[in-house]
Structure 1
Amino acid sequence: MLLAGFQLPISPEPDHNAQVRKILSEVPLVDGHNDFPYMLRGWYKNQVDRADFDIQKMPIGQTDLDRLARGMIGGQFWSAFVPCPTKTDDFSQPNPNTATVLEPLLATLQQIDLIHTLISLFPSTLGFASSSTQIWNVFRSGRIASLIGVEGLHQIGNSVSVLRMFYKLGVRYVTLTHDGNNMWAESATSGTTPHGGLSEQGRRLVREMNRIGMMIDLSHTNHSTQKQTLQISEAPVIFSHSSCFELTPHPRNVTDETLHLLRQNGGVIMICFLPSLIKLTNTIYPPLSPATLASVASHIIHAGTLIGYAHVGIGSDFDGMLEGPEGLDDVSCYPGLVGELLKRGVSEGDVRGVVGGNVIRVLEEVERCRDRIEREGRGSGEVMCDVIEEVWTGGQRGMLVERGARRRMEAGK
């Protein structure tokens, strides 16, 4: 297997080394968010045919195939991220007919294509996965189960049809917002609240995501959007890369109140490594340097103690930051974090859930919710549709009606 033959790059306590290796060889460590595809867009302009294209040993960033192997990662949600439009509140038009709307859509398709291309170019290391079962199958084949997430509804061209097509292309979660608001929901960092959380269309979109089996990601959203989504969604949701507001009061972090709602929903918060989201300001824990592996563990332990470890995961945001916290410099460092959790008394069973079991369970429950909605016959009556401009003039429509009536009359003779 790919996981065999590598030494742990950051040594946990000696008595935990074997235990860490056993856990990560039996349960896929599934990271909820990695911006490696966007790093490749910036560095190589997605040109995988360049002579210097090499993702085995990247000259920049926090991710490459060598370091992924050393980190014993078993599954990864690769982010098909593109930035929000400059005019972040330019979302009033329901039809995808402006460059502001269409440019992010085009770039997103390029990123989804890049992810699929990487999987096809490195089949001995990466394996495509779009279901909970496929994650296990790819992991057991010794490869990294590669899933796709889209980081913001600004990327769907204001079109529910596009959202459904993304699903058919293998996207399995969509974040409701990124740094700006959109026509569906509000961002934690936009500074404005045009909808008061979800718009009416946003509420319908949550139900549509349940219907098609798309995981809802609440990272980057504001508290109102989070609470309303958790009240509406029939399926568990995720925070793909967020941390705990109680320990680090950053607008992108999740309050204890919302964490309790997440537990009721059955979802998972995947703790982020971004230094600004994990530096500890709460005195419950011993003084630590602003952003370290230990402070990431403290966020995991806070959430696990508060709502149960069944609702906690890992969502690093590697390659979405200039540098990681001390001890979590890149994707080779996951074993050190697993060892820290064990050292601080988190049970092996809980650790197995945190590293990957919990998010796989959420995906499985989202799939079950989709199937239940279909069985109940709610699908056809609840399909959300785009607003389409008139195709024909009134005269053309009248002509079609007239000719149809004439045909029916002649057929009845």
Structure 2
Amino acid sequence: MQRTLPVLLLALVPTLASAQATDAARALAQDAVIVDTHIDAPGMLMDGWMDLGEEAKGREFDYPKARAGGLDVAFMSIYTSPKQDDNGTAWQVANEMIDAVEALAARHPDKFALLRSPGDVDALRKGDRVLLPLGMENGAPIGDDLANLQFFFDRGVRYITLAHSAANRIADSSYAIERKWHGLSPFGKQVVAEMNRLGIMVDVSHISDESAREAIALSTVPVIASHSAFRHFTPDFERNISDELAKAVAAKGGVVQVPFGTAFVDPKGAADTQAHFRAINDFNQRNAELKAAGKPLESEEAFDKAWAAAHPAPVTKIDAVLDQVDYGVKLVGIDHVGIGSDFDGVGGELPQGLLTTADYPNLVAGLQARGYQDEDIRKILGGNLLRAWAAIEAGAADPKAP
């Protein structure tokens, strides 16, 4: 998720890793395969090149932080906005982001490697490399051409979040007031089938309940929610996954990946986020009316500044994320919960103790303190996602495979 709210100065908020993580937690984090399905570093690279192979001040993901936290597989979010969809730039922006990730790996072949198959994880991560598969957040770059799915698969995209904060050609968004399709569009149904054929994971985060329900039902292989908290804690926030849909994801063999952002795991943060998108909708409508009348438009910068000042992020503890994991495990089972942090995508609005990719040991310590066995923690950290991904890949190779 990309937000327009100002980024907090992370330098002013010291990491709590050394204060909370135990030696046992740090050891497990380094030994386990940690897979985070949502990191928005490519968006940062588009704002201005940063060498993420070195310490990058103010960023939540870079190589030193990732390895300090034990991160092995970092899905790079190829995010495009509804505005870029509307103005026809989404395809170009997505390609530029992929170019940036490829450049990062090429500049540091000893630190990063592109990842295209779960079967390559063990070989490629040797030498402490961090692996960079791609997840496309918003199917807008596909346009209305199914052939673009093959194009982006060939470029390394291994999951696609069908829509983001507005309806597109594929599906409805959970944030939008109006629902264009009430499920998937006719083209969206073709997209799901083609993703299954290619081995691209269908991601139901961000989309409406109707769209998610239909995508899960139509898919012949597991689906994922790459970064969705549980709506149980935020009843009026459709962006978080409902119990019904979480169970459907699990029944299909998929995984719900829990994000860390306070906008998802904190009830007040979720309420403010929902209100923010409603306010953006009203703002855009006002500007459309002003433009039609030939009058000056309201300032988007001033709107964002006023909103941020009136809605400071709530202070949230790491327990909010641990509670999400607990609830998910009880709801759908230990084999169907993982992590999709949304680092570098939530404007620094993160729980205490989970401020950067160096802090996964704090999550491990919290899980151990709550009685989780190391074998189950390994599943949550990445084993579950790799299993689902392998099943999706196998389904593409053999459509009759379960």
Q: How far off is 1:290 after superposition?
A: 5.3
Aligned partners of 2:367, 2:316: CA distance in 1, in Å? 16
Aligned partners of 2:392, 2:20: CA distance in 1, in Å? 35
Q: Which residue of 1 aligns with 2:190?
A: 204
Q: Which residue of 2 aligns with 1:78?
A: 76
| Alignment-mate amino acid for residue 372 of structure 1 | D
Is 2:354 the counterpart of 1:349?
no
Taking the TM superposition and a 5 Å limit, the aligned residue runs for 1:34-183 are 34-42=39-47, 44=48, 46=49, 53=51, 55-85=53-83, 100-101=87-88, 103-183=89-169
Work out whether residues 280 and 291 of structure 1, in 8 Å CA contact, stay in contact via their aligned partners in 2: no
Secondary structure, in 3 states, of the residue corresponding to 2:231? coil
| Alignment-mate amino acid for residue 337 of structure 1 | L
Aligned partners of 2:167, 2:98: CA distance in 1, in Å? 23
Q: Which residue of 2 aligns with 1:220?
A: 206
Q: Aligned to 2:320, which of 295, 298, 307?
A: 295
Deviations 1:350-378 (A, max 9, x none): 111000001111110001100112899xx
Q: How far off is 1:82 after superposition?
A: 2.3
**1:13 and 1:215, CA in 2 relative to 1: closer, same or farther beyond 3 A?**
closer
Is 2:9 the counterpart of 1:9?
no
Q: Which residue of 2 aligns with 1:253?
A: 240
Aligned partners of 2:92, 2:344: CA distance in 1, in Å? 22
Aligned partners of 1:13, 1:71: CA distance in 2, in Å? 10
**1:195 and 1:238, CA in 2 relative to 1: closer, same or farther beyond 3 A?**
same
TM-score by length of structure 1 reads 0.78
Aligned partners of 2:120, 2:357: CA distance in 1, in Å? 22
Work out whether residues 105 and 155 of structure 1, in 8 Å CA contact, stay in contact via their aligned partners in 2: yes
Work out whether residues 239 and 268 of structure 1, in 8 Å CA contact, stay in contact via their aligned partners in 2: yes
**Matched residue count:** 341
Aligned partners of 2:267, 2:335: CA distance in 1, in Å? 23
Secondary structure, in 3 states, of the residue corresponding to 2:196? helix
Q: Which residue of 2 aligns with 1:380?
A: none
Aligned partners of 1:229, 1:54: CA distance in 2, in Å? 35
Deviations 1:270-317 (A, max 9, x none): 101110210158xxxxxxx85221110110110011110110010000
Deviations 1:87-130 (A, max 9, x none): x7x5xxxxxxxxx23x1100100001111111111111111110
Work out whether residues 143 and 169 of structure 2, in 8 Å CA contact, stay in contact via their aligned partners in 1: no
Secondary structure, in 3 states, of the residue corresponding to 1:77? strand
Q: How far off is 1:58 after superposition?
A: 1.4
TM-score by length of structure 2 reads 0.80
Is 2:391 the counterpart of 1:365?
yes
Secondary structure, in 3 states, of the residue corresponding to 2:240? coil
Deviations 1:305-354 (A, max 9, x none): 11101100100001001112211111111110111011111222211100
Aligned partners of 1:54, 1:33: CA distance in 2, in Å? 16
Instruction: Give 5+ residue unaligned stretches, structure 1.
Output: 1-6, 91-99, 282-288, 377-413
Q: How far off is 1:26 after superposition?
A: 3.0
Q: Aligned to 2:37, which of 32, 38, 54?
A: 32
Work out whether residues 10 and 327 of structure 1, in 8 Å CA contact, stay in contact via their aligned partners in 2: no
| Alignment-mate amino acid for residue 264 of structure 1 | A
- State the Cα RMSD in Å: 2.1
Aligned partners of 1:61, 1:368: CA distance in 2, in Å? 36
**1:184 and 1:54, CA in 2 relative to 1: closer, same or farther beyond 3 A?**
closer
Q: Aligned to 1:313, which of 320, 330, 338?
A: 338
Aligned partners of 1:240, 1:32: CA distance in 2, in Å? 6
| Alignment-mate amino acid for residue 73 of structure 2 | G
Aligned partners of 1:346, 1:191: CA distance in 2, in Å? 40
Q: How far off is 1:66 after superposition?
A: 1.7
Taking the TM superposition and a 5 Å limit, the aligned residue runs for 1:241-280 are 241-249=227-235, 250-280=237-267
| Alignment-mate amino acid for residue 389 of structure 2 | L
Work out whether residues 36 and 74 of structure 2, in 8 Å CA contact, stay in contact via their aligned partners in 1: yes
Aligned partners of 1:361, 1:8: CA distance in 2, in Å? 31
Aligned partners of 1:310, 1:54: CA distance in 2, in Å? 32
Aligned partners of 1:233, 1:359: CA distance in 2, in Å? 17
**1:305 and 1:290, CA in 2 relative to 1: closer, same or farther beyond 3 A?**
farther
Q: How far off is 1:153 after superposition?
A: 0.9
Taking the TM superposition and a 5 Å limit, the aligned residue runs for 1:369-384 are 369-373=395-399
**1:375 and 1:273, CA in 2 relative to 1: closer, same or farther beyond 3 A?**
closer
Q: How far off is 1:140 after superposition?
A: 3.5
| Alignment-mate amino acid for residue 75 of structure 1 | V
Aligned partners of 2:179, 2:139: CA distance in 1, in Å? 16
Question: What percent identity do the matched residue pairs reach?
Answer: 29
**1:8 and 1:319, CA in 2 relative to 1: closer, same or farther beyond 3 A?**
closer
Q: How far off is 1:12 after superposition?
A: 3.9
Structure scoring higher RCO (CA < 8 A, sep ≥ 6) equals: 2
Q: How far off is 1:225 after superposition?
A: 0.9
**1:11 and 1:349, CA in 2 relative to 1: closer, same or farther beyond 3 A?**
farther
Higher mean alpha-carbon deviation, 104-113 vs 134-143, is at: 134-143
Secondary structure, in 3 states, of the residue corresponding to 2:133? strand
Work out whether residues 9 and 70 of structure 1, in 8 Å CA contact, stay in contact via their aligned partners in 2: no
| Alignment-mate amino acid for residue 338 of structure 2 | G
Aligned partners of 2:186, 2:41: CA distance in 1, in Å? 34
Work out whether residues 21 and 361 of structure 2, in 8 Å CA contact, stay in contact via their aligned partners in 1: no
